[in-house]
């Protein structure tokens, strides 16, 4: 028998599943089933990461045998759902903390676990690959660490994006001509303002929401470094005059979110044309859209009856959370004008895992081209 590959040594074991959030018994059981499938059907068996996600899909997905056990709304029992999925019970107090409630309700219980599996996989494997190290060495000379993190910059709007340090560092993966690559921060569809399109980059207007996202996600994937990207965007790039659509009317926002994340009655090939609300910002002249953030998971939206039930995410003081979503048409301008104005701040939990540590006021950044 040949020696296991580096990938198999790092990822293909029950310890990977434990680090992703599963209890030891659940991880051992899932790993044993995966080993059996790999030996019996080697040409069809996916990697352990995909096997774990497919198990969730088979049991708790849209057509899963235990779909009703998933949680996706304010009246659902997220704790019971996670226990049914095999999540480590000691994680629940932090995941179910009241402070995390607004962030928890943005996704279903199963989607939160899927995200933890992917984040743990990327961290454990990606940071050790030769390609990753080569890319890091290529830009190492330009990366500055422990720089002061600005709270504000005159003539600019500070925007934020939370995620794993592994993924957020990709913002500096560009070439010498355009070293900044904000498009690498894009989310997968559906998003609040698009059902199908890849390449939408949502950023947050309030640091408070980004910190809550960091705290919540780090409580799940405890072994993965999380952080916040701070981006100082010139004000003139975010105005109506620069074709950045601002959706201030609540009814307009509700209709757009409903059309992009609500029930999907028929495939796009059968659409009779985009509604005026969606078409208004998907024309080629638009470079971005700004508006409030939907507070509900996609699974819950699919259970609602109409757009009037769409609700915005709110801060602790009752103010609506706001997002700025960049479209691909804006990437070049953003990459050019935000160069040297992007900072990555790593945020950690306290040693006891109870809360997010206060900001150190320090971050890493990349120097501008000479």
Q: What H or E segment, with its residue span, contains residue 54? A: helix 48-60
Q: Give me the pLDDT at residue 218, please.
A: 93
Give yes or no for a contact between 216 and 222, defined as CB atoms under 8 angstroms apart: no
Domain ranges, ordered by start, for the chain? 6-126, 144-366
DSSP assignments along 145-213, one per residue: EEEEPPS--TTEEEEEEEEEHHHHGGGG---SSS---GGGGPBPSPBTTBSS-S-BEEEES-HHHHHHH
**43 contact partners, CB below 8 Å, separation of at least 6:** none
**28 contact partners, CB below 8 Å, separation of at least 6:** 14
Please tell me the distance from the alpha carbon of residue 20 to that of residue 85, in angstroms, as a whole number: 12
Please tell me the distance from the alpha carbon of residue 198 to that of residue 211, in angstroms, as a whole number: 25
3-state class of 314 per DSSP?
strand
Mean pLDDT, each 10-residue run in order, the chain (370 residues): 61 91 95 91 87 87 70 96 96 94 96 95 73 51 80 94 92 76 90 82 96 94 93 95 87 88 69 57 72 95 93 94 92 92 91 80 77
The pTM is what?
Answer: 0.89
Q: Give me the pLDDT at residue 265, please.
A: 67
Give yes or no for a contact between 349 and 369, defined as CB atoms under 8 angstroms apart: no
**321 contact partners, CB below 8 Å, separation of at least 6:** 204, 205, 206, 209, 292, 293, 312, 313, 314, 315
**How many C-beta atoms lie closer than 10 Å to residue 2's C-beta?**
4
Q: Give me the pLDDT at residue 271, please.
A: 52
Cα 87–chain centre separation: 20
Q: Give me the pLDDT at residue 130, please.
A: 47
Q: Give me the pLDDT at residue 281, please.
A: 60
Q: Give me the pLDDT at residue 89, please.
A: 97
Q: Give me the pLDDT at residue 34, please.
A: 92
């Amino acid at each position: 028998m040949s020696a296991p590959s580096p990938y198999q040594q790092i990822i293909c074991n029950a310890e990977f599943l434990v680090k992703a959030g599963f209890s030891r018994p659940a991880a051992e059981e899932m790993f044993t089933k995966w080993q059996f499938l790999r030996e019996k059907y080697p040409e069809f068996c996916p990697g352990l990461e995909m096997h774990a996600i497919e198990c969730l899909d088979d049991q708790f997905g849209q057509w899963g045998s235990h779909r009703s056990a998933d949680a996706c709304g304010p009246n659902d029992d997220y704790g019971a759902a996670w226990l049914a999925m095999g999540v480590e019970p000691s994680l629940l107090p932090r995941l179910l903390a009241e402070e995390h409630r607004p962030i928890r309700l943005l996704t279903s219980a199963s989607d939160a676990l899927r995200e933890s599996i992917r984040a743990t996989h990327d961290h454990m494997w990606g940071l050790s690959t030769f390609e990753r190290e080569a890319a890091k060495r290529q830009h190492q000379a330009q990366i500055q660490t422990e720089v002061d993190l600005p709270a504000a910059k005159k003539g600019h709007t500070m925007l934020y994006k939370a995620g794993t340090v592994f993924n957020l560092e990709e913002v500096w993966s560009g070439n010498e001509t355009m070293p900044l690559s904000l498009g690498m921060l894009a989310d997968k569809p559906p998003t609040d303002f698009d059902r199908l399109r890849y390449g939408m980059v949502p950023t947050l207007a309030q640091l408070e929401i980004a910190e809550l996202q960091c705290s919540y996600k780090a409580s799940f994937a405890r072994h993965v470094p999380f952080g916040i990207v701070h981006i100082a965007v010139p004000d003139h790039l975010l105005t109506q005059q620069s074709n950045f659509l601002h959706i201030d009317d609540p009814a307009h926002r509700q209709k757009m979110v409903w059309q992009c994340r609500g029930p999907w009655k028929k495939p796009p090939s059968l659409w009779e044309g985009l509604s005026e609300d969606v078409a208004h910002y998907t024309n080629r002249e638009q470079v971005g859209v700004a508006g409030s953030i939907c507070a509900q998971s996609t699974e819950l939206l699919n259970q609602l009856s109409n757009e009037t039930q769409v609700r915005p995410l709110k801060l602790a003081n009752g103010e609506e959370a706001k997002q700025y979503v960049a479209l691909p048409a804006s990437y070049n301008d953003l990459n050019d004008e935000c160069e040297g104005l992007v900072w990555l701040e790593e945020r950690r939990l306290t040693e006891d895992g109870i809360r997010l540590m206060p900001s150190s006021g320090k971050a890493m950044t990349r120097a501008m081209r000479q």
